[in-house]
Amino acid sequence: MLAEVERLSTPQVEWSVLLPFLILLGGAVILMVAGALTPRRTKAPWHAGATVAIAVASMVSTVFLWWRVRDDGPISAVSNAVVVDGLSLYLGFAILCAVVLAALLAHGYLQREKLEGADLYVLMLLSAAGGLVMTGANDLLVLFLGLEILSIAVYVLAGMHIRRARSGEAALKYFVLGAFSSAFFLYGIAMVYGATGSTNFTKISAFLAANILTNNVMLLAGFALLLVGLGFKVAAVPFHAWTPDVYEGSPSPVVAYMASGVKVAGFAGMIRVFTSTFSSYAADWQPMVYVLAVATLVVGSLFAVSQTNVKRMLAYSSISHAGFILLGIQAASTQGTRAALFYLATYTFMAAGSFGVVTVVGRAGDNAHDLSDYDGLAKRSPLLAFAFLVFLLGQAGVPFTSGFLAKFGVIGAAVEARSFWLALIAMLTSVVSAFVYLRIVLAMYDREVEVSGPKLRVPVGARIALLIAVLVTIGVGLVPEPLSHATRTAVALTHPAPAPAAAPIEVSAGS
């Protein structure tokens, strides 16, 4: 009897498949200890270098796991609460790319603002570890755990600039609203558990495939509440109110990570919950996502027009891009999921690159973000202006950039799902967003600047990050097949839902 209790209470953990997460977690602990034992201020960028090395090591282990999953199929770990499959590895790799870019941007910024130390890097690694948990979650409680690990670290990152009142305000606002969204998410978990009797995705999917709910009000309420919690993380309207203020007040390299890595993790949870687990109830949750996508596209594009602060412009642009990714989610199809994955990967580099330029132009104090601060940037720093031009054109969806293919993919998925009006709204709002990006381009290339205007010094790390982002944005636009193949493989290797039972049984919710 004792042996049976021990067997039941001990989860089966396959540590080798958790290696990317363990590398990030262990690396964060080592970096924290090393940072505490060494001087905070140092000219050698060892904090950033160590962070990049840790992230790259996690990426290498992800690639090895990709080959293993490609040959053997999805792998369950931690008593089927975590799954390692194509989706988790693909999106996990994107999060790690965001960490590398943000770490490269952070060193010069921290030196400039006299905020040297390992704190930012440790918190970013811990947040990314939570993101990896979200990408591989096979249980609602595990997804919530990953969401909180990701979020708590980012709350602190938002307030890292202790000498800027706006930074502290951003952290407080993000924390308070984030706590509300977490509460909604927990209520959603409770509702889904009440309707299906489980929080495990595999068991929920099996239950819904084998049973027809005669009263699905509780399940629909669970859908809505889960959508609120995840919608907050991806800055979907009407859960976006925090985004402009938090993006404006937070340290710029942190915003680069928030706009890329955090958004990828949020959409990973959304794909896991809706397009995978609740695929058999797509007709019930698709209208919710449809409305969310329309509101996000319209608000994100129209509100950006009236902004004069480039950081706030990009914040509303980030909201608009979330609306485009929601097109792929709403389609509830294989093509829609592939298009969403393609969009997330390309947007990671465009967003991180854009906020990388903002990091440099912001100068000491991180306050030079008005549109007038970009006047004549092409003459003051031609390469920096060109990099920003590439990112803005990519986000506008100009051909021969990765953004064009990303938008074309999600709009095509919406058309295939017969969401014609949604696709039309997406195209119209894309034109409005292009006007916003054009304002920045004109400021950089068409406005005169005084000869004595401020010269911008681009740190080495920022140069490397911007170069990587530019190459990916242009390279994927010209040669998209490798990334397209990766998205197809990721979807094909995603943890499959169980086959439906031969004779579904009608039950009431919670029975």
**Can you tell me the distance from the alpha carbon of 255 to that of 268, in angstroms, rounded to the nearest whole number?**
19
Question: Does residue 363 or residue 422 have the better pLDDT?
Answer: 422
Residues in CB range of 256: below 8 A, 6 or more apart: 98, 101, 102, 105, 351, 352, 355, 356, 359
**Can you tell me the distance from the alpha carbon of 333 to that of 426, in angstroms, rounded to the nearest whole number?**
18
How confident is residue 498, by pLDDT bands cut at 50, 70 and 90?
very low
pLDDT at 374: 87
How confident is residue 509, by pLDDT bands cut at 50, 70 and 90?
low
8 A C-beta contact, residue 48 and residue 121: yes
**Can you tell me the distance from the alpha carbon of 260 to that of 346, in angstroms, rounded to the nearest whole number?**
10
pLDDT at 113: 82
Per residue in 359-382, pLDDT tens? 998 888 778 888 888 888 888 888
**Can you tell me the distance from the alpha carbon of 323 to that of 328, in angstroms, rounded to the nearest whole number?**
9
Question: Is the C-alpha dihedral spanning 151, 157, 162, 166 positive or negative?
Answer: negative
pLDDT at 197: 86
Cis peptide before 238 (omega within 30 of 0): yes
**Can you tell me the distance from the alpha carbon of 80 to that of 200, in angstroms, rounded to the nearest whole number?**
8
Per residue in 197-252, pLDDT tens? 888 888 888 888 877 776 788 889 999 999 999 999 888 988 888 888 899 888 88
